[in-house]
Amino acid sequence: MKIEPTQVNIAKIIKEQTKLEESEEVVHLLLIEWYLRKQLSTKKLAGKVKLPLPLVSAIKKELVKLGLASNKVGTGLTRKGKLYVEQQLGWAAINKEYYLKVTDSKEEQASLKEVMAEELTVGIVGRPSVAVAYDQAFATIETIVERAFLLLEKPDFINKHILFLGDDDLSSLAVGLLIKKLKASGRTKSIEKLTVYELSPDVIHCINTSAKKMDLDIVCQHLDFREGSLSKYKNQFDYIYVDPPYTLSGLKLFLSRAISCSRLEHAHIFLSFGEKAPKNQLALQKLIGLQNLVIEKIKPNFNQYSGASIIGGVSTLYELTTQIDSYPAVLAESSYSDYIYTGELRPRNVVYQCCRCGKEYTVGLYTEMTIEELKRKKCSICANDTFLRIDTKKLPDLQEQHSLGKHYLIELKNCPKEKLTSVPLVEQLMLQIADGCKLTRVQHYFHQFEPWGVSGVIILAESHLTIHTWPEKNYAAVDLFVCSDLSSESHFTSLLLTLFEGKEIECRCIIRGNVS
């Protein structure tokens, strides 16, 4: 019995029948877990796929109806169900017993990691020097092996499209090697669908050469993510690895490109980023939330680097998932002109002195020379390759960003109806708030809705203050946009709560118009 790809979409049918809110992929995940571990109880299966027991029971009933599972006690998938997992989900290519051995045994997993690290150390050839101008700092071999093993936590990765959005760390080689280790004996047909988009020709050459040596199937394409040329790559990939530059602008661009390339609703993004300053950590979280991504896991200090002193030699690994309404802040069709590398945003020249003859060299953004290149070329006088850093000269910032203003979005809840119903009272309170916050009123207008509800706007010299009320819900939405700092943000929110007698307030501040 062979299940053809043209047959009905089983996961889609079950999603509709069970009113499943999660993506269709969770049905495949359940099938795979059942296939791998055979007679799993409903409770254990629910734990594996992280779904409520009643929902797992409902999915199992639908699988029985479709002939993929048996409802007899002590049985699991039918022959048809097993064939579906093997043929449609790619598990015919995998040594199931070895996979379970690796995933269920810490000793076996540690042994495989050690073997892979040794093979990668020997197998990687022609690796270029670190390009510090592009915020490069190579992850250790042990780290890229750990990145590959992240896939084992998600058994639906087999037969999926995996993208490496920039890969100077060579994580693609580790992932390719892991999948090769898991292949069924005698399996010659490639199951890897690994793609690398990379800017550096030297890195691409290294990956191609090393992959050929290790008999791995990896496709590399030269791509500059700043160019708006990703339209043809949209929504193709299920798993995406991305390790962006150290800047928030670089993070914004690379994360946007990852979303553009991902299959929405269920794709997984492994993001490595090392920002530690609290305000930048908050900016990172806001950027993730803004693009409607879900943070599944956060693994601090997961990535270890050789160098990367600017981030302390380590970075955090964020496991993100896309939703059906996830979207990129920078569209796939749009180019990106902001500076994205640390050297561009905070340029400086550094003076090094040859440790043998004392000759001085200046390296930095405007010299088109890095310390790595200087060491490789050696001193032009004595051919020495060791240098001492003796001076740093900060250059004028190429781009100083500033915002056009702050936009406060406020939700007032559980307010008395009488405070929200009539224009005279709402108008009086809003004008009192504007004056209390020392905002300059220019003009105002308030409108009465029938049977109740008020909308109003106060034009300010600083921008605007608006309100929309829903008395029947005891709720008001307030919007303040100012092009200069408030004298006190806490005073503003306190006035709102006090005057409208709200019991609860939610306030978000958005920085508007980050421009150079």
Contacts of 386 (CB under 8 A, 6+ apart): 354, 355, 356, 375
Instruction: List, by residue number, the catalytic residues.
Output: 463, 468, 483
**Tokens 């569209």 map to which residue?**
331
The residue with tokens 């690379």 is 254
Between the alpha carbon of residue 13 and those of residues 58, 68, 86, the distances in Å are 12, 13, 20
Where are any strands of DSSP class E within 229-313?
Answer: 239-242, 268-273, 293-304
Report the distance separating Cα 410 and Cα 465, nearest Å.
Answer: 11
Q: If we measure between CA atoms, which residue out of 139, 133, 130, 128 comes closest to residue 274?
A: 139
Q: At what angle do helices 141-149 and 171-182 cross, to 10 degrees?
A: 50
CA distance 68 to 498: 61
Task: Locate 118 and state its tokens.
Answer: 């040794």
CA atoms of 226 and 336, how far apart (whole Å): 5
Instruction: Give the contacts of 305 (CB within 8 A, at least 6 positions apart).
Output: 137, 138, 139, 140, 143, 311, 313, 314, 315
Dig out the tokens for 387 from the structure. 């240098």
Q: How far apart are CA 495 and CA 502, in angstroms?
A: 10
Closest CA to 408 of 516, 491, 287: 491
* DSSP sequence for 101-122: HHHH-HHHHHHHHHHHHHHHHH
In degrees rounded to 5, what are phi and psi of residue 22?
A: -70, 170
